[in-house]
Amino acid sequence: MTGESATGSDSAPLSAPACLEGVAETLAAPALRDLAWLCRAPDLVTLAGYPGRPDGDALGLATSAALSGWLAQQTPRAGEAQWSRLRLARLGHYHERLWHYLLDHAPQTRLLAHGVRVAERRHTLGEMDMIYRTRRDPTPIHLEVAIKFYLGLPEGPGAAAGQSRWIGPGGFDSLALKSSHMARRQLAFSATPAARRALRHWLAPRDAGEALTPPGAQFAMPGVLFYPFHATLPAPAGSTPEHYRGLWCYARDWPALAATLPPSALGTRLPKPCWLAPPPFASFVPLRQAADAALARLQKAPVAQQLMLYLPPGGETRRVFIVPDDWPRQIPLPPAG
């Protein structure tokens, strides 16, 4: 198989699409593909009182032409080898580093600080992910980021549309817990007196005394919400209309899901932490081959496996999690309060 075509199960050659999930096939470097995906990926939810992610206008990358031109000029400063190693690190850490690069190199933004730890008497009170500003407005902005992949439970805690029904593949956290923590703790932290003092120390000009415009606070939470194949579940309350959607199924139900797909469908397994941008089209193989590899790994260890599907003739992509038949083994409690 070459980078120009792949072969479906019916042996008909498939031409490489111009882009997948908004990521141009001409982008080869994984870090640049992930940056392209990140610039277009919508937030999963809205949070009352806080604006969502820096948009294309704020970044100076509002049009496809502007984004493509900017990406063509980028060579990650640390070098591709270091970015490749970072991509194999923890998913959340890699996602934060992508935001650092984006805010510091986009045409209309500059990163002022990241990982701003606030402590008093050697006791850590909290930390702010990033502080940045735009060229149009010198007011500092506090940005918190998270990338999340949640699977919806047809039966579980709370109402059918409750965010507590949406849990991570490992069952350790939920959309409800993350949204609550983001709004009540992370985003609110920059307004506390201790955080304001820390920001004045780092950001105020030396001759400005205590003068520092109070920072705004916003968040970015891209990712995918995976809906159950075997049941109907409404979108969670507070989710954005444009959030990325996938499917999840039990291993025992994979044959039934596969039977609904075109015979020429292709697939590729997405190993964690490579869950952001789709891989190049050359990575896609006949769907049965990709699924068999995922199911074999599932038999060796009960860890949910993510597939990306390519569905001819329209070239739609779809993400699917295949989970063990006894999943989930644990469900997080809803947030207190």
User: How much is the average pLDDT of 66-92?
Assistant: 76
- The range of the structural domain enclosing residue 69 comes to 23-231
Per-residue pLDDT of 164-174, as tens digits, reads: 999 999 999 99
- Does 249 lie in the same domain as 224? no
- Does 259 lie in the same domain as 195? no
Q: Please report, rounded to a whole number, the percentage of residues in the chain having pLDDT higher than 70.
A: 88
Domain-embedded: residue 34: yes
Last residue of one domain, picked from the residues 206, 231, 256 = 231
Tell me, what's the pLDDT at 6? 65
Q: Is the pLDDT of residue 13 over 70?
A: no
Q: Is the pLDDT of residue 287 over 50?
A: yes
Last residue of one domain, picked from the residues 176, 201, 231 = 231
- List, in sequence order, the alpha helices (H) in 25-152: 30-40, 56-59, 64-73, 80-87, 91-105
- Does 96 lie in the same domain as 126? yes
Q: How many domains does the chain have?
A: 2
Q: Is the pLDDT of residue 102 over 70?
A: yes
Beta-sheet pairing, 245-250 with 316-323: parallel
Beta-sheet pairing, 148-152 with 137-145: unpaired
DSSP for residue 283? G
Q: What is the pTM of this model?
A: 0.92
Pairwise CA distance, residues 15 & 310, whole Å = 12
Task: Give CA separation, 223 vs 4, 44, 248, in Å.
Answer: 28, 6, 15
Within 10 angstroms of residue 180's Cβ, the number of other Cβ atoms is: 18
| 8 phi and psi angles, rounded to 5 deg | -80, 180
Q: Are 133 and 143 in contact (CB under 8 A)?
A: no
Tell me, what's the pLDDT at 75? 72
Last residue of one domain, picked from the residues 231, 255, 270 = 231
Domain-embedded: residue 5: no
Cis peptide bond upstream of 138, omega within 30:
no
